[in-house]
Amino acid sequence: MRVRRGSSELWNLVVSRPAQSSGTNGSGAELRFVDYRGTRVLYQAHLPILNVQYGPDGEAVGCGPTYRDWQNQEACFTASGSEPAGPGYRLCSTAPATILDNGSDSGSFHGVAFHHDGSELRIVSELAAGWYRYISDWRFADDGVIRPRFGFAGVTNPCTCQVHTHHAYWRLNFDIAGAADDRVDEYNDPPIGDGAWTRLRFETRRNRHSLHRRQWRVVNRATDQGYHIVPGPNDSTADAYGAGDLWVVRRRGAEIDDGQGFTTDPALSRARIDGFVGGEAVDGRDLVVWYGGHFHHDEHDHTPRPHVVGPDLYPVGLS
C-alpha cells in the first residue's frame, strides 16, 4: 500500500490480512516494512496477544474465568469498493463500517479494507473470537502520525452482559532509519530524577502514570528521528492480570508472542511478556516496544466512552 500526494510518496507499507497474520493466535491486520517519506520507521507492527478476564459474577454463571483469544478469524463487515490486489484486500470509496459503527454483525466483506479520507489512511478489519467481535484499525495520517486502534464489541450472549476487562497488546518492532541504533526515552512531569526525559538503558516494563503524564519516545541515536508514544485516554492502567502497560525489549526473532494458544486458565491466559525482559541493554539496539491497552466493560456503567483503545504515535524529526 502506498499513499502519495502529488509526486511525493508519504507512506509505503506491506499489509497482511488477519487470516494470514503471524503468531500463535494470529495478530489482526499485520504491517511490515512501514516507511514514511522514504524513511523506515517500523519493521513489523501487529497485535499478537489478546485476552479477557471476568469478575466474580461472570465466573458464577460459567463465563471464563479468563480467555486467551485469537486474532486470525475474519468476520464480515461493510466495505464498498474494488479489490485491485485480489480477494480480501478492498480499496474503499467510502469509509468502511464495522459493528462498532453500525451495531450490525453483518456485511459482505471479510479481510482488510483501506480508505483514505483526504488526510488519513485507515486499514480496518473485523475479527471474531467466539461471541466477541474485535476491530483491528490502523490509522496513518499524511502528517506522519500513526494511531493504532483496537475495538471491542460482541454478539448476544449471556457472558457479554457480565463485567469483564479486555487486554490487548501491540508489538511494535521499530526500525527508525535502520534497525541497529534506536533508543527509548521516558517522559515524566513532574520529573522523576534529574529531568523530565530519562533514557531507558535496559529491558524493562513500565506502567502508565497519569500523575506524571508519562509518555515515551523511540528515536534513532544518530539522526534523532523517531516517534513519540502518547497513551490514549481510554487505555487505562494494568491490574495484576493485565500484566503491564509498556515493555521495552531487545528484538528476538522467536519472541513474536508468548506461545500460548486458546485457554481459559488464568495462569496461562495472562500475557507473559515479562518473560522477554532479561536485563539486556536496549540503548542503541534493535528493539521492540510492547504496548498494552485495557478496556473495562460494565453494562451498568453508562458513562459515554468509545469501546476503543490505542496510543497516538507522533513523528519526531520526520516531517
CATH of the domain at 234: 2.70.98.20
Lowest mean pLDDT among 10-14, 17-21, 119-123, 295-299: 295-299
Contact (CB, 8 A) for 274 and 243: yes
- For residues 224-236, give the mean pLDDT: 96
The two most distant CA atoms of the chain are separated, in Å, by: 61
Q: What angle do CA 42, 14, 98 make, to 5 degrees?
A: 100
Residue 315, preceding peptide bond in cis (omega within 30° of 0):
no
Q: What is the pLDDT of residues 45-69, one digit of tens each?
A: 999 999 999 999 999 999 999 999 9
Going by the DSSP 8-state scheme, the letter that residue 210 receives in this structure is G
Structural domain that includes position 134: 2-316
Contact (CB, 8 A) for 30 and 48: no
Residue 65, preceding peptide bond in cis (omega within 30° of 0):
yes
Q: What is the tally of structural domains in the chain?
A: 1
Give the pLDDT band of residue 222 (cuts 50, 70, 90): very high
**Residue 39 pLDDT > 80:** yes
What mean pLDDT is reported for the chain?
95
Q: What is the pLDDT of residues 119-163, one digit of tens each?
A: 999 999 999 999 999 999 999 999 999 999 999 999 989 999 899
pTM (predicted TM-score): 0.96
- How is residue 297 written as a grid cell? 466493560
Can you tell me the distance from the alpha carbon of 133 to that of 287, in angstroms, rounded to the nearest whole number?
31
How high is the pLDDT of residue 265? 98
Scan for cell 464498498, then name that residue: 80
Scan for cell 507492527, then name that residue: 45
